[in-house]
Amino acid sequence: MRRPIKKKNFQEPDTKYSSMLVARLINQVMQAGRKTVARRLVYGAMEVAAEKLKKPALEVVETALENAGPQLELRSRRIGGANYQVPYEVRGDRRVTLALRWIVGSAQNQKGKGMQEKLAEELINAVNNTGNAVKKKQDMHRMAEANKAFAHFAW
């Protein structure tokens, strides 16, 4: 018997920009429930990135997520005793989630600066199609292209 479908918890848009994307970015940055600290970091990083790129802050975040989000991903599928990496198209909400996770993760893994500066730098890099998050997306697309022969195993 299949597991019942879980109800999604809907979150409120953020207070400053009234954007769900920014609210999700804040939640991704947040650690140990310290939302005010995460808010301050994200808003500061967005302002720094907007200043450097001379674009509106919300547009910077949207473009960064668009550039860092993958179109294809690989999933393991067991067929006849062998495991195959099967490429699948990524749904919209998962694409945004992966992009956010990769941008925040690569910002956290950098050394030597404050989180606000690291996040701003990673957003700028994602807008310019450079940086670790975009590299991760390109690696995933490369792997999906290499395993295109197994696409007929998709559900």
Question: What are the residue boundaries of the structural domains of the chain, listed by start?
Answer: 20-153
Query: How does pLDDT run across 37-91, given as a tens digit for each residue?
Result: 999 999 999 999 999 999 999 999 999 999 999 999 999 999 899 999 999 999 9
For residue 136, the model assigns a pLDDT of: 95
- 20-153 topology per CATH: Ribosomal Protein S7 (1.10.455)
Main-chain phi, psi angles of 84, to 5 degrees: -115, 145
Is 31 a residue whose pLDDT tops 80?
Answer: yes
pLDDT band at 8 (very low <50, low <70, confident <90, very high): confident
- Amino acid 11 reads Q
Residue 38 to residue 42: CA distance in whole angstroms: 6
Give which of 92, 99, 108 is closest to 127, Cα–Cα: 99
Residue 136 to residue 71: CA distance in whole angstroms: 12
Query: How does pLDDT run across 102-153, given as a tens digit for each residue?
Result: 999 999 999 999 999 999 999 999 999 999 999 999 999 999 999 988 888 8
